[in-house]
């Protein structure tokens, strides 16, 4: 008897088609990946899905069985590749488990179908598995605690850097330097706020600066607190004094910096406090009354001081070129601030008025003898350092534009008169006398954009240097540039001559410039404490030197690194690695690639296989893309580290993000219209550094995919975490605890803020402060939170949502017997956190 034709089953056909379509996508991407030497799973699984879908459309029982086989194989493959890493399961299993639910629901509809109870039970179990998996992502993953944290009074790492200035030995409750004091340990000896009461912390007052930007925002500011006052600068270098207890504005000074002067980011990380010595109090009189000698144009639409609500009445604003009479014998206490257009300002700390005895009407222009300096090319975005009455400043030279960019020369001025004392240029390192007339400092030489540190007792200033202009091409560099670039340089502040230096990357073509401010400490050795300097790097290496001599206090090895690339004759056979401590992560593998689904994960796997990657220091390649890991954002960047000198514990937050780079031939860059900024006629509105930079004067432009993001979703190709925070025993270099840092609440695909508070470990910029209360305060991550972390456990014990991104180092101080936590929340365009102009303080409720 003939078999009765089976009626077409629409649900079964639709599920079969869906399985087959996904299988086709698996086959296409999997075949491409396999042809590049990648995983064969996707191709095999895709063929299984194609056949399973066809069999389901035909209502064959084998379709369900084959899908079950693919599902089981995927589970085993996921366990093999990702282990128990919950983030690794998501792209490998989400599509497969979703389809499995549908297949289970239609399983009773095939010929000789499966029982409804069993099929629906399997579908229910799969849904429960999905729910459990979703719940697991809220459980912090990847935290380790291999060693106990030393208790209070376990160490004595405080160090003698002199007694010349308030920042040498900060008064209890003050924060008189960018790093807390001249040793830059970022430690507050205050315990009013502690682990027992931190949950009661509330906002005490909020101040709005009024300096808001809609592009290139990211002030990165850490204020100072001296006596009763707080001093800070805004994105465009408005300097403000506030009452430390109430937030009432004392004064503000607007130097009228044009928007055209903003380099990559409108950053003003901090200002510098200085007290004129009694024996020099009259020296400034001889220099008073000189007319201003600054031809930089003022911004016609400079932000006024009162266009944003503040908690108190706004004080009278002092502006550049104000006709107000200023007495030369004032300015015994001074605030020094650098500007984005290359000036050093000296302001009276009491009134905010220019110190007319300093330079020309209270300012000096560092751009002299630099030659052509288009707007934005020479910008001071870090606080100057003062050693033995000498103001030492570096500056940012706009990256990626020209090989013949302005010089990175370091300049030193008399802190009382503004006289240029010396100028040290890494392109002419054996000379320090200032140039005169039409002479020009070495074009394109290495610069110092970050914050230096100084020792008044030794008379040394320590310069964390960057590399030469044209970050990713080294052939035109001189021997001197190759020797001194990307180095820590100790300079005798009296002569301007180097005393010692150490290079952290030889012939740097990875933009591994030194971003972190060094930390000074007495390092414990078997022979007793040694005045030392601790240096974190973007590569993740942490070095310790005798700061008198430059001798490494823990061994440093030169290890072989990958060779070849576009300039094989230029690459160093070895690079330095510290045997003390490293934040560096294991090399990337194809298995580390990630995505929301197997399809964007396949895309990232294919990109991985197409690129040149042989570990740290894979050289730039002109024939294909190359992977840089860690990327130029660290490791450790400008937020640096914090040190508890009484416990002997270092706190380091760090990034775990790669860059996906390509050298672009000059003719192709010309087709793209990649030209230096001054030729763009207003077309440049920001973006990731290196994203289509012309590198004019070299054979290649550079295109950096910072963080290595998928262009359709904006998610990173590497699986989480993307950032962490770690406690390290300073004496041994051992990790005490380590954890991912940052939640996904403000992150998601296509720029959607997910609102989900699970710990994913986000990129982070900005550092921490440690207190005697056993707490670490830090913002930095892209989730717009400020946190208190228990130093013993690494656990978050308090947090608050900021109104803008907290990409800045916080500070802790005391005023009128009350302890305060302060953070400047301005957001950051590179970190894609919201823009703001907030100065926010927290304190315990008043009794």
Residues serving a catalytic function are: 511
What 3-state class would DSSP assign to 114?
Answer: coil
Given a contact cutoff of 8 angstroms between Cβ atoms, the answer to whether 107 and 64 are in contact is yes
DSSP string, 178-193: TTSSTT---EE---SS
Structure tokens at 243: 């009452």
Handedness of CA 669, 675, 677, 682 (dihedral sign): negative
CA angle at residue 163 from 816 to 191, to 5 degrees? 35
Pairing of strands 317-319, 249-254: parallel
d(CA 197, CA 207): 25
Residue 63, phi then psi, degrees to nearest 5: -60, -40
Distances from the Cα of 805 to the Cαs of 206, 361, 824, 842, in angstroms? 15, 36, 9, 16
What is the enclosing helix (H) or strand (E) of 392?
strand 390-393
d(CA 392, CA 455): 12
Q: How many residues can be counted in the chain?
A: 847
Q: Name the residue with tokens 């001798």.
A: 551
d(CA 778, CA 766): 8
Handedness of CA 383, 385, 391, 396 (dihedral sign): negative
**Neighbour tally for 128: CB within 10 Å:** 10
Structure tokens at 508: 């740097």
What 3-state class would DSSP assign to 728?
Answer: strand
Contact partners, residue 597, CB within 8 Å, separation at least 6: 91, 94, 95
Torsion of CA 678, 681, 682, 683, to 10 degrees: -100
If phi over 0 gives left and psi between -120 and 50 gives alpha, with beta otherwise, what is residue 377?
Answer: alpha
């Amino acid at each position: 008897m003939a078999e009765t034709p089976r009626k077409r089953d629409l649900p079964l056909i639709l599920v079969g088609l869906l399985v087959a379509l996904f299988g086709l996508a698996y086959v296409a991407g999997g075949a491409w990946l396999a042809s590049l030497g990648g995983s064969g799973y996707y191709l095999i699984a895709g063929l299984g899905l194609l056949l399973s879908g066809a069999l389901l459309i035909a209502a064959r029982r084998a379709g369900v069985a084959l899908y079950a086989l693919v599902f089981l194989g995927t589970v085993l493959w996921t366990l093999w590749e990702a282990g128990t890493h919950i983030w690794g399961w998501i792209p490998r299993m989400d599509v497969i488990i979703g389809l499995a639910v549908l297949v289970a629901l239609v399983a009773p509809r095939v010929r000789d179908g499966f029982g409804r109870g069993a099929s629906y039970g399997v579908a229910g179990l799969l849904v429960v598995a999905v729910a459990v998996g979703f719940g697991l992502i809220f459980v912090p993953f990847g935290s380790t605690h291999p060693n106990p944290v030393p208790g209070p009074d376990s160490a004595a790492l405080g160090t003698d850097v002199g007694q010349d200035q308030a920042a040498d030995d900060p008064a209890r409750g003050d924060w008189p330097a960018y790093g807390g004091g001249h040793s830059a340990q970022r430690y507050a000896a205050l315990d009013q706020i502690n682990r027992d009461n931190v949950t009661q912390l509330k906002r005490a007052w909020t101040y709005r600066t009024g300096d808001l930007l809609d592009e290139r925002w990211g002030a990165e500011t850490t204020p100072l607190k001296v006596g009763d006052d707080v001093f800070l600068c805004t994105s465009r270098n408005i300097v403000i004094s506030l009452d430390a207890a109430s937030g009432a504005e004392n004064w503000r000074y607007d130097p009228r910096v044009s928007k055209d002067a903003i380099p990559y980011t409108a950053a003003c990380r901090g200002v510098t406090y200085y007290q004129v010595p009694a024996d020099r109090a009259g020296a400034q009189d001889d220099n008073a009354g000189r007319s201003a000698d600054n031809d930089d144009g003022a911004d016609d639409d400079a932000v006024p001081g009162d266009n944003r609500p503040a908690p108190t009445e706004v004080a009278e604003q002092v502006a550049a070129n104000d006709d107000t009479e200023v007495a030369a014998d004032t300015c015994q206490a001074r605030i020094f601030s650098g500007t984005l257009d290359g000036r050093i300002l000296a302001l009276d700390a009491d009134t905010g008025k220019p110190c007319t005895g300093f330079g020309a009407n209270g300012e000096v222009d560092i751009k002299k003898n630099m030659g052509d300096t288009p707007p934005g090319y020479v910008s001071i975005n870090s606080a100057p350092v003062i050693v033995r009455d000498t103001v030492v400043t570096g500056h940012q030279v706009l990256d990626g534009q020209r090989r013949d960019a302005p010089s990175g020369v370091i300049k030193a001025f008399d802190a009382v008169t503004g006289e240029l004392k010396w100028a040290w240029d890494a392109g002419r390192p054996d000379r320090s006398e200032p140039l005169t007339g039409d002479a020009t400092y070495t074009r394109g030489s290495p610069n110092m954009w970050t914050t230096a540190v100084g020792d008044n007792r030794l008379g040394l200033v320590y310069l964390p240097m960057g590399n030469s202009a044209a970050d990713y091409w080294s052939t035109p560099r001189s021997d001197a540039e190759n020797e001194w670039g990307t180095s820590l340089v100790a300079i005798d502040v009296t002569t301007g001559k180097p005393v010692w230096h150490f290079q952290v990357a030889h012939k740097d073509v990875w933009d591994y410039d030194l971003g972190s401010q060094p930390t000074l400490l007495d390092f414990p050795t078997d022979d007793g404490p040694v005045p030392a300097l601790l240096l974190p790097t973007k590569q993740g290496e942490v070095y310790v030197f005798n700061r008198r001599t430059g001798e490494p206090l823990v061994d440093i090895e030169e290890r072989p690194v990958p060779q070849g690339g576009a300039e094989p004759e230029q690459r160093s056979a070895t690079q330095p690695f510290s045997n003390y401590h490293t934040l560096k992560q294991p090399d990337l593998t194809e298995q580390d690639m990630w995505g929301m689904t197997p399809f964007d994960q396949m895309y990232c796997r294919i990109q991985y296989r197409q690129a040149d990657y042989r570990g740290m220091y894979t050289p730039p390649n002109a024939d294909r893309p190359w992977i840089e890991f860690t990327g130029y954002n660290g490791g450790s960047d400008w937020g640096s580290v914090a040190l508890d000198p009484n416990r002997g514990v270092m706190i380091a937050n760090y990034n775990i993000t790669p860059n996906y780079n390509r050298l672009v031939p000059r003719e192709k860059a010309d087709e793209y219209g990649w030209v230096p900024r001054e030729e763009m006629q207003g077309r440049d509105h920001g973006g990731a550094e290196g994203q289509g930079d012309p590198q004019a004067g070299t054979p290649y432009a550079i295109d950096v995919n910072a963080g290595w993001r998928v262009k359709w979703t904006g998610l990173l190709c590497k699986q989480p975490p993307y950032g962490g925070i770690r406690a390290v025993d300073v004496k041994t270099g051992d990790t005490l605890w380590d954890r991912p840092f940052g939640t996904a609440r403000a992150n998601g695909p296509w720029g959607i803020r997910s609102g989900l508070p699970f710990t994913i470990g986000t990129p982070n910029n900005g550092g921490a402060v440690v207190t005697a209360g056993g707490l670490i305060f830090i913002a930095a991550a892209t989730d717009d939170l400020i946190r208190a972390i228990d130093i013993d456990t690494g656990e978050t014990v308090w947090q608050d949502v900021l109104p803008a991104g907290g990409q800045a180092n916080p500070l802790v101080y005391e005023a009128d017997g009350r302890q305060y936590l302060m953070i400047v929340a301005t957001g950051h365009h590179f970190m894609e956190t919201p823009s703001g102009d907030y100065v926010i303080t927290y304190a315990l409720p008043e009794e």
